[in-house]
Amino acid sequence: MSESTTIRWEQDETGVVTLILDDPNQSANTMNQAFKDSIAGVADRAEAEKDSIRGIIYTSAKKTFFAGGDLKDMIRLRPADARIAFDTGTEIKRSLRRIETLGKPVVAALNGAALGGGYEIALASHHRIALDAPGSKIGLPEVTLGLLPAGGGVTRTVRLMGIADALLKVLLQGTQYTPQRALDNGLVHELAATPEEMLAKARAFIDANPESKQPWDVPGYRIPGGTPSNPKFAANLPAFPASLKKQLNGAPYPAPRNILACAVEGSQVDFETALTIEARYFTELVTGQTAKNMIQAFFFDLQAVNAGRSRPQGTEPRTVRKVAVLGAGMMGAGIAYSCARAGIEVVLKDVTPEAAAKGKAYSEKLLDKALSRGRTTEAKRAELLARITPTAEAADLAGCDAVIEAVFEDTALKHKVFQEIQDVIEPDALLCSNTSTLPITGLAEGVSRPVDFIGLHFFSPVDKMPLVEIIKGERTGDEAIARAFDLVRQINKTPIVVNDSRGFFTSRVIGQFINEGVAMVGEGIEPASIEQAAAQAGYPAKVLSLMDELTLTLPRKIRNETRKAFEAEGRAWSEHPADAVIDRMVDEFGRPGRSGGAGFYAYDDSGKRAGIWPGLREHFAKPGYEIPFEDMKERMLFSEALDSVRCLDEGVLTSIADANIGSIMGIGFPAWTGGVIQYVNGYEGGLAGFVARARELAEKYGERFTPPASLVAKAERGETYAD
């Protein structure tokens, strides 16, 4: 019997064994080598001392119950490591299974977050109790890292709740549940208000169920809802939501497909065989490129970004108490809600009291919806609303220690609104503008303290979009950057920091994607194929429909301003093939986009999309003209990746992690790539492969695909991009 190192065995006089998960070398418990040895030792001992044991409780001495697999190890696995990958977890699974089938009641007492491997330990228990602690999350989010839960997670959820619920509630979206919602959805059996109550409930279960078994270990057990071998099953097949359908058809996300196959195949065989099937599908995922990309982005990059990689050092963290939001339109209303949700007092100012009240009403609408879905309470709703004061009076802004301006996109107006308020607010208040296109350096000229002036670019809809792009102007001070960063974190969003430039990073790069789609229209490619290519590349929005949403007049305006600026600076300006298409759409056909009632799509009277405008085929499409579908997808992906490399060259971007996270969370760059720069790193053949393909695209479709010299040099040195 090996000495347990990460699990403490505590047995009381009544024979109840509490297994306290407590890795001495890490802040959280993970499925590392030490755990593998420890849990095997526990299974040995439990079998050997079975007669003296009345029941087993898993709990943990850490803040979280258990974190899951060790991602540092996983990200290194290559296809040649398939055997290692397959064996990873197999032994742990075997040990958990031995404990599960010992013949004694096993209870999971989840004292904190139990995600991934943590919830898999809970699933290998007969009874699951969660401490109802704030911030505690329960679920199997592996799919969001391009993986599947291979610690028995697929096999047991399918047997616990049936294929349809397991897929839709737990596996395919990786939903992280609060303890209450985990209870409501059948992931745990009961909640406890305190750790003591939790352990008492665990003992009570053991007392009452001395012969406890998993449902699937009881003879005659059938999977709830049936399996595909049962003729009635088809009627119960899950109706997949549209977002999942997209992941399952076409877009290059292997994890949902493997999960689906694993659940279905595993449901038709015995438990042990199902575990093996699970390991096989996991191995394919963990040794592939997509999981590496997603782990890099959603674990390592996201952690680095939120931890403050781009926050200037040496400034004390600050919290904002009272924020002024100027402009109660679509963005201002959303910003006010997000700030109030985080507990900040908000003064929401517009030109008239009615306009300001309308902005506040937006929060009411969101809260009513949340209330009807049980996501908030009456009391919390009232508290949040009480924090928002709508006004048309500058004097009401007294005491504000930060300002976020979101009035119309007009430099003179923005200057004016800052002037109106700068003597009322706190003398050192942080001054932010939510401009989407105007250079920050120019806007800063209109305020008395340019050192405190900064861009804070939110995305629409603000309450849902997790990213905020912080833009440093030439005169913005480090203190302002740090304060802006802290404010974004205070409202629970993810901040990336970029240097001022036209369109900053996000707007500029997404512009490339849109232009590429529109250019293809001009070449004569069938518009429906272009939309399909965007979807199959994994973009959340189709390219022409996105253009319609943003309006065709906006890029024209930006293009004209940029051209003027280039000419003034003596820089060479080259037309994009999309320009001529946009001009014709607006000038010749009067189709400026969705808000104008007509664009690449037709819209009905209520503003609903009514199919691609047939005129597109008539005026642009060349019947029979096709280019390889792969080229269509890669033209979109490469256009954004190449421009991001140029953003690095120009110093607009200073962090690879910011680039990756900003592109996925801000502008919908497909998550499977791991972000714009990880896409370059992870491209087949690495940087050299990417350069070769870019040259091929340049040859076929235009100079804009020529890889920048810095990228070519990096590829020649055999490097990859890293912070």
Closer Cβ to ligand NAI, 68 or 439, answer by number: 439
Give the sheet arrangement for strand 190-192, strand by strand.
7-11, 16-21, 55-60, 106-110, 127-131, 190-192
Among residues 396, 443, 449, 441, which one has the least CA distance to residue 422? Answer: 449
- What's the min distance (Å) between Cβ of 353 and ligand NAI? 12
Give the pair of three-digit tokens for residue 516: 């590429």
Closer Cβ to ligand NAI, 424 or 621, answer by number: 424
Task: Check residue 671 and report its DSSP letter.
Answer: G
- Checking DSSP bridges between strand 190-192 and strand 430-433, what pairing results, if any? unpaired
Kindly write down the DSSP assignment for every residue of 261-312, as one continuous string: HHHHHHTTS-HHHHHHHHHHHHHHHHTSHHHHHHHIIIIIIHHHHHHTTTSP
Give the pair of three-digit tokens for residue 138: 């329960």
Closer Cβ to ligand NAI, 170 or 550, answer by number: 550
- The distance from CA 434 to its chain's CA centroid, rounded to whole angstroms, is 22
Closer Cβ to ligand NAI, 414 or 693, answer by number: 414
Give the pair of three-digit tokens for residue 4: 């347990």
- What's the min distance (Å) between Cβ of 336 and ligand NAI? 11
Q: Which residue is nearest to ligand NAI (CB)?
A: 329
3-class SS at 712? helix
Task: Check residue 252 and report its DSSP letter.
Answer: S
What is the rounded distance in angstroms from the CA atom of residue 270 to the CA atom of residue 56?
25
The sign of the torsion formed by the CA atoms of 709, 710, 711, 717 equals positive
Catalytic residue among 10, 47, 120, 640: 120
What is the rounded distance in angstroms from the CA atom of residue 85 to the CA atom of residue 107?
29
Q: Which residue's entry shows tokens 């005026």?
A: 619
- What's the min distance (Å) between Cβ of 507 and ligand NAI? 8
Closer Cβ to ligand NAI, 351 or 386, answer by number: 351
Residues ≥6 apart with Cβ < 8 Å to 342: 490, 491, 492
Rg for the chain (alpha carbons), in Å?
28
Give the pair of three-digit tokens for residue 443: 């806007």
Closer Cβ to ligand NAI, 332 or 674, answer by number: 332
- What's the min distance (Å) between Cβ of 671 and ligand NAI? 21
Give the sheet arrangement for strand 402-405, strand by strand.
388-391, 345-349, 322-326, 402-405, 430-433, 453-458, 467-472, 494-499
Among residues 18, 65, 102, 55, which one has the least CA distance to residue 204? Answer: 55
3-state secondary structure 341-383: HCCCEEEEECCCHHHHHHHHHHHHHHHHHHHHCCCCCHHHHHH
- What's the min distance (Å) between Cβ of 412 and ligand NAI? 11
Closer Cβ to ligand NAI, 154 or 325, answer by number: 325
Give the pair of three-digit tokens for residue 666: 């801000």
Residue type, 184: D
- In terms of phi and psi (left: phi > 0; alpha: psi -120 to 50; beta: otherwise), the region of 310 is alpha
Residues ≥6 apart with Cβ < 8 Å to 611: 601, 602
Closer Cβ to ligand NAI, 6 or 494, answer by number: 494
Q: How far apart are the first and last CA of the chain?
A: 45
What is the rounded distance in angstroms from the CA atom of residue 280 to the CA atom of residue 276?
6
3 is catalytic: no
What is the rounded distance in angstroms from the CA atom of residue 521 to the CA atom of residue 455?
34
Tell me which residues touch ligand NAI (CB under 6 A).
326-332, 349-351, 355, 406-409, 413, 417, 434-436, 457-458, 460
Catalytic residue among 100, 142, 265, 634: 142
3-class SS at 567? helix
What is the rounded distance in angstroms from the CA atom of residue 382 to the CA atom of residue 673?
42
- What's the min distance (Å) between Cβ of 355 and ligand NAI? 5
Closer Cβ to ligand NAI, 98 or 415, answer by number: 415
Closer Cβ to ligand NAI, 503 or 674, answer by number: 503
Closer Cβ to ligand NAI, 99 or 550, answer by number: 550
Closer Cβ to ligand NAI, 267 or 422, answer by number: 422
Residues belonging to the chain:
723
3-class SS at 474? coil
Strand ranges, E, within 25-137: 55-60, 106-110, 114-115, 127-131
φ and ψ at residue 348, rounded to 5 degrees? -105, 110
- Checking DSSP bridges between strand 430-433 and strand 453-458, what pairing results, if any? parallel
120 is catalytic: yes
- What's the min distance (Å) between Cβ of 585 and ligand NAI? 21
- What's the min distance (Å) between Cβ of 624 and ligand NAI? 38
Catalytic residues, by residue number, are 120, 142
